[in-house]
Amino acid sequence: MSSTSQKHRNFVAEPMGEKPVMALAGIGDVLGKRLEDKGFDKAYVVLGQFLVLKKDEELFNDWMKETCGANTKQRGDCFVCLKEWSDTFV
């Protein structure tokens, strides 16, 4: 997928392990801090929410907007990153 960022490619290339939430595509310092403040400090915790929402893009986008104020691009980047990772590893 040539339209993905280097951050996205790095994330989906290997198991998640203990990666911080800011390792997710679309999540930078500001959104990462907001997510951490709400208990979503690791990428796998956000993955858990993604799975609880049954990998539904609309539900995930709504959750991201409400939880950390992510904009459309940030939400989309994070969703695609988690979807691709879960398609590979789950």
> What are the tokens at 63?
């959750």
CA atoms of 67 and 39, how far apart (whole Å): 10
16-58 tens-digit pLDDT: 999 999 999 999 999 999 999 999 999 999 999 999 999 999 9
- Where do the domains of the chain lie, and which CATH numbers do they carry? 6-89 (1.10.150.40)
> What are the tokens at 53?
């929402």
Instruction: For residue 1, name the pLDDT band (cuts at 50, 70, 90).
Output: very low
